[in-house]
Amino acid sequence: MTNNQYHQTIRVLSDRIVNAQRPIRILDALKWDVEIHDHFFKNNFKELPRVTPDYYEKNPLRFDPEVKIEEFNDIERDIRRELGQFSSVGGIMQRICREYVTVVSMLRARGTPQFTKYSRQLYGSSEDAFYAGAPTLQDLAVVLSNTLSFIRDKSHRSKEDEKCYTAEETVEKLRKKLIKYFFDKKVPVQVVLSDGIIADAAAGAECIKIRSGAKFSRRDLRVMEVHEGWVHLGTTLNGLTQPICTFLSKGPPSSTITQEGLAIIMEIFTFSSHPARMQGLTDRISAIHMAEQGANFIEVFNFFREQGFSAEDAYVRASRVFRGSTPAGGPFTKDLVYNKGFILIYNYIRLAIQRGLLSRIPLLFLGKTTLEDLHVLGDLVEEGIVIPPKYLPSQFKDLGALSSWMCYSLFLNQLDLKRLAVEYKDIL
């Protein structure tokens, strides 16, 4: 097989994965409609939302699960036949096929106890540790919450936090900012209003959606520019430029962990984030942990109210935990990926710098990547099968400043903070 034939084989198999996943829309299949919301509020938050397995049956999937599972199994089989059992790029594509089989199985199990089992396989659990003997995600949530409790009060807020922009104004301002970032005028930068999203903003396939009726601050605008624009839209556009490995334009759940972690890191690196936002992400871990321990929707809703959220915001956040499940069932664990991905990628960057592998770090942006694949993707770049990212934040173009930061970080993490607190007690 010539190189051209080899590349064409990869492209054909890659395109088959992209086409097979096209009708799978996880969040659309899990969402609750406005009637669920209205009934909960009408009953003064005392009655669980009316969501049962039958509710999901009335919102059928856009595909036949059995047929779709068989389609991914066939693609995985053909990858082994045509690329070989031990092909590195074939290994990535086979894992993606298996992930999508789990996704389909999870969607087929909506409203049942099996739903959370599959969710944990894809996104993890609040009780996951980062390595043997390490703290869990829930331990991280406790530490962060304790620290943030000292710095998230209103005295630290400024004009940057005032909700001064309407959704319509935000759409136009964000579009202008992203046109500058995505310098290729041939690339259509789309920012649109949407009534169908839970979050204030979400990056779709090739556009960013802003929730109609929401109000935004200057800081919100900056976070959306970096998080939704530079990372989510940027990695999508970089993936779409891939001439052979087209699967990099679409993200399976394993890439969601990497993508959301990378988005949070960019918020931190650009000083765009703030304590209230970090507390919100931390609260998501705690809420999922509560649901994993048996808490129902009302208990999680009340938890968010205790954190200072309005009834409307508490409902939105609680519904994120239970969407796809039932109000007394296990959680949908996707919202763990923000902090989980942040920790995993931050440590990857530190170790890459420590070992002199700086060239690997920008590969995080070349598409919808998964952390465990970066060493393979690095080899594929050298072979010309994958091309480097076109759109890259300045912090990852010149890694000098980032390397300096991380060099100090490697040493500072060796210091005992409790011991330092004793030494600094008179100063503090």
Task: Give the whole-angstrom CA distance, residue 363 versus residue 370.
Answer: 10
CB within 8 Å of 84: residues ≥ 6 apart? 90
Mean pLDDT is lowest, of 182-191, 206-215, 375-384, for 182-191
- Cα 48 to Cα 297: distance, rounded to the nearest angstrom: 7
* pLDDT digits 0-9 by tens, 339-391: 999 999 999 999 999 899 999 999 999 999 999 999 999 999 999 999 999 99
pLDDT at 156: 62
Q: Which of 52-66, 202-216, 343-357 has the lowest mean pLDDT?
A: 202-216
Res 130 pLDDT > 90:
no
**Residue 413 confidence class, pLDDT cut points 50, 70, 90:** confident
- Written as six digits, the tokens of 369 are 């990547």
DSSP for 229-274? Answer: IIIIIHHHHHHHT-SS-GGGGS--HHHHHHHHHHHHHHHHHTT---
What pLDDT does 202 receive? 80
* 308, 99 contact by CB (below 8 A): no
193-199 contact pairs (CB < 8 A, 24+) = 193/167, 193/168, 196/31, 198/31, 198/316, 198/319, 198/320
CB-CB contact of 24 with 63 (8 Å): yes
Half-sphere CA count of 329, side-chain side, radius 13 A? 24
Quote the pLDDT of residue 185: 67
How confident is the model over 261-267, as a mean pLDDT?
A: 96
Identify the pLDDT of residue 152.
60
Task: Give the model confidence (pLDDT) of 275-329 as tens digits.
Answer: 888 999 999 999 999 999 999 999 999 999 999 899 999 999 999 999 999 999 9
* Dist. CA 128–CA 242, nearest whole Å: 34
Residue 154 has pLDDT above 60, yes or no: no
CA distances from 76 to 70, 84, 194 (A): 10, 11, 36
Tens-digit pLDDT profile for residues 96-106:
999 999 999 99
What is d(CA 119, CA 103) in angstroms, rounded to the nearest whole number? 8
pLDDT on residue 337: 96
DSSP helix/strand/coil, 209: strand
Mean pLDDT across the chain, nearest whole number? 91
Range with lowest mean pLDDT among 226-230, 252-256, 422-426:
422-426
Average pLDDT of 226-243? Answer: 94
pLDDT-based confidence at residue 402 (cuts at 50, 70, 90): confident
